[in-house]
Amino acid sequence: MSINADSSKTLAGTPAADATPAVSELDTIVSLAKRRGFVYPSSEIYGGINAVWDYGPLGVELKNNVKRAWWRSVVQQRHEVVGLDAGILMHPQVWKTSGHVGSFSDPLVECTACKRRYRLDELPGTSDLTTTQLADAEIVAKMGLKCPDCEGTLTAPRRFNLMFKTFMGPVEEDASVIYLRPETAQGAYVQHKNVRDSSRKKIPFGIAQIGKSFRNEISPGNFVFRMREFEQMELQMFVRPDEAATAAFEEWLPRRLEWYKSYGVSPERLRMREHAPDELAHYAKRAIDVEYRFPFGWKELEGIHNRGDFDLSRHAAESGESLDYFDPATETSFTPWVVEAAAGADRAAFTFLIDAYREEVVRDEKRVVLSLHPELAPYKVAVLPLLKKRDDLVEMAHRIRDGLSREFTAVYDDTAAIG
């Protein structure tokens, strides 16, 4: 199956209409999320902290259900994929070898008047600029770009590294520099051989993991879409070079797109966009994003990447450890290529929440309904006694809830009348 996708084409190759978002205003979801206990601003009693959010009772259940659904699809139902939970802190050489220390950066501009900082590619009118254009020191002057907040003059762009840096050891002066991981993928690469040997896997096989990552984003925002602390769900498939990698890429791309549809996301609000050659990350041979029509536009939901042998070759060369695979059938050795499916638990949960939002009128009153897939819904059963003053009914309701809780996430509520 060959897929030709770009920013203006659907899967079938026809022009993609700009689908209507499920919710027109982001504030609608932000307000609902706080009111119903999905997501709260972090440290709110102290004024909050920019782009950091806490998941409330319903949000925890929703995101956990999303992670379980992903794990079931990617690991449990795939005999060739196993799990890993790598540490957040890794040897700093990992990030130098991977290219993150030198290349993991975004173009930053600063307003000379109000001192606010922005990602250059997120300013109005810059969304279609190529990587080469974004690196042009004169691009701000050429386009006449101004500060979106105060119309002040912007500086020339400079590169801003996105990794959080800290120190390991009791005394900062003597401690070694260490980084909070910006992605979970590198853990799979440096543990690739251990996992392969201990689980007795043959090529092709995959390593999946779910875990927290950290990026010092220049312009975080849009609620939980872009945060400095977030949770990833990533699959790394280790395959034979060239044609086998192409086949694995084209196998996983529609599979990952279908996963979102299977849990209720409207197909018209999903599309695939292929990265242009000058847009590719330093490690990628090919990349296609699964995008969703959020209230703030089409944005990446998940990325499928053909990473070639970039990661394993670099780590093998720098560490001195061979990461080659010996094929007993052909009696040859080769460095596996990697096909990656990189999703975010926060973005996925956010997408399911937005797409499930409905407003309906009953007896001339508007009410909000969340049409979540049953597997994702925070609570599966609600037990609501008709009369909370009837002790026998309340006791029976508690017994029913306790029995159901052994198999389902059940909630009991007697705070309002339902009769």
Question: Do both 120 and 267 map to the same domain?
Answer: no
Question: Do both 319 and 341 map to the same domain?
Answer: yes
- Could you tell me the pLDDT band of residue 61, with boundaries at 50, 70 and 90? very high
**Bridge partner residues of 158 (DSSP):** 108
Q: Contact at 8 Å (CB) between 40 and 32?
A: no
How high is the pLDDT of residue 13? Answer: 38
Question: Do both 113 and 135 map to the same domain?
Answer: yes
**Residue 272, domain member (yes or no):** yes
Question: Do both 110 and 69 map to the same domain?
Answer: no
Contacts of 66 (CB under 8 A, 6+ apart): 345, 348, 349, 352, 376
**Residue 289, domain member (yes or no):** yes
Question: Do both 251 and 130 map to the same domain?
Answer: no
The pLDDT of residue 313 is above 60: yes
**Residue 4, domain member (yes or no):** no
Q: Of the ranges 8-22, 310-324, 394-408, which one carries the lowest mean pLDDT score?
A: 8-22
How high is the pLDDT of residue 137? Answer: 85
Q: What value does the mean pLDDT take over residues 111-136?
A: 86
Q: What value does the mean pLDDT take over residues 378-403?
A: 86
The pLDDT of residue 12 is above 50: no
Question: Do both 277 and 407 map to the same domain?
Answer: no
* Closest of 342, 237, 212, 224 to residue 290, by C-alpha: 342
Query: Domain containing 404: what range?
Result: 379-419
The pLDDT of residue 6 is above 60: no
Token code pair at residue 172 = 């900062």
The pLDDT of residue 14 is above 80: no
Q: Note the pLDDT tens digit of each residue in 239-250.
A: 999 999 999 999
Q: Note the pLDDT tens digit of each residue in 209-253.
A: 999 999 998 888 899 999 999 999 999 999 999 999 999 999 999
Percent of the chain scoring above 70 in pLDDT: 94
Contacts of 295 (CB under 8 A, 6+ apart): 21, 23, 24, 25, 26, 29, 354
Question: Do both 269 and 302 map to the same domain?
Answer: yes
Q: What value does the mean pLDDT take over residues 179-192?
A: 97
Structural domains of the chain, count: 3
- CA-CA distance, 285 to 3, in Å (whole number)? 15
CA dihedral 306, 190, 159, 41 (to 10 degrees): 90
Highest mean pLDDT among 72-86, 113-127, 132-146, 157-171: 72-86
In terms of pLDDT, which residue wins out, 130 or 186?
Answer: 186
How high is the pLDDT of residue 417? Answer: 58
Q: Contact at 8 Å (CB) between 123 and 117?
A: no
Question: Do both 228 and 323 map to the same domain?
Answer: yes
Q: Note the pLDDT tens digit of each residue in 92-108.
A: 999 999 999 988 888 89
**Residue 363, domain member (yes or no):** no
**Residue 297, domain member (yes or no):** yes
How high is the pLDDT of residue 174? Answer: 59
**Residue 249, domain member (yes or no):** yes
Question: Do both 130 and 218 map to the same domain?
Answer: no
How high is the pLDDT of residue 179? Answer: 95
How high is the pLDDT of residue 255? Answer: 96
Q: Note the pLDDT tens digit of each residue in 83-93.
A: 999 999 999 99
**Residue 20, domain member (yes or no):** no
The pLDDT of residue 143 is above 60: yes
- Could you tell me the pLDDT band of residue 11, with boundaries at 50, 70 and 90? very low
How high is the pLDDT of residue 10? Answer: 44
**Residue 149, domain member (yes or no):** yes
How high is the pLDDT of residue 17? Answer: 57
Token code pair at residue 118 = 């922005």
Q: Contact at 8 Å (CB) between 52 and 227?
A: yes
CATH of residue 48's domain is: 3.30.930.10
State the SS3 of the chain.
CCCCCCCCECCCCCECCCCCCCCCCHHHHHHHHHHCCCEEECCHHHCCCCCCEEECHHHHHHHHHHHHHHHHHHHHCCCCEEECCCCCECCHHHHHHHCHHHHCEEEEEEECCCCCEEEHHHCCCCCCCCHHHHCCCCHHHHHCCECCCCCCEECCCEEEECCCEEEECCCCCCCEEEEECCCCHHHHHHCHHHHHHHHCCCCCEEEEEEEEEECCCCCCECCCCECCEEEEEEEEEEECCCHHHHHHHHHHHHHHHHHHHHCCCCHHHEEEEECCHHHCCCCCCEEEEEEEEECCEEEEEEEEEEEECHHHHHHHHHHCCCCCEEECCCCEEECCEEEEEEEEHHHHHHHHHHHCEEEEEECCEEEEEECCCCCCCCCCEEECCCCCCCHHHHHHHHHHHHHHCCCCCEEECCCCCCC
Question: Do both 195 and 252 map to the same domain?
Answer: yes
How high is the pLDDT of residue 324? Answer: 96
Question: Do both 323 and 197 map to the same domain?
Answer: yes
**What does pLDDT average to over the chain?**
90
Q: What value does the mean pLDDT take over residues 3-22?
A: 52
Question: Do both 137 and 53 map to the same domain?
Answer: no
| Rama region for 89: left / alpha / beta (φ>0; ψ in -120 to 50; rest) | beta
How high is the pLDDT of residue 329? Answer: 84
- Return the ∠ at Cα 226 (arms to 222 and 232), rounded to 5°: 140
pTM of the predicted model as reported, rounded to 2 decimal places: 0.87
